[in-house]
Structures are given as C-alpha cells and as structure tokens.
Amino acid sequence: MNPGKANAISPEFGKRTYAINYSNDGKKIAFNQEVESHVQIFVAERP
C-alpha cells in the first residue's frame, strides 16, 4: 500500500465500505468505515 493513497479493504462487507488512508510520511493512518448514513473515522499515528 502506498502512502497518501486510499486502499479499499473490501468493496462490500456487510454492505459497509472500508478504506485505509496513509499520510505521505506513512506515520498517520486513518480507517474510514461507512455505517448506515454516516462515516466513522479512526486515526492512529505510528512513532
């Protein structure tokens, strides 16, 4: 997976959309999860 790109984990998993986004330096990771009518975003940062 390339930094700065969104990579879909699965186009459809229980009718939910998932994607992982990496920052350009590869240290920050955002996990996007579409749930019904809203999107949950989880952010993590590596040392």
- For residues 43 and 29, the answer to whether their CB atoms sit within 8 Å is yes
Instruction: Give the count of domains, the chain.
Output: 1
- Quote the pLDDT of residue 2: 46
- pTM exceeds cut of 0.75: no
Q: Which of 24, 21, 25, 15 is nearest to 47 (CA)?
A: 25
* Residue 1 within any structural domain of the chain: no
| Residue 17, domain member (yes or no) | yes
Dist. CA 11–CA 16, nearest whole Å? 8
Q: What is the pLDDT of residue 15?
A: 53
User: Which domain range does residue 30 map to?
Assistant: 6-45
For 14, the token pair is 């229980």
What's the average pLDDT block by block, 10 residues per block, for the chain (47 residues)?
Answer: 52 59 81 75 82
Looking at the domain assignment, is residue 34 inside a domain?
yes
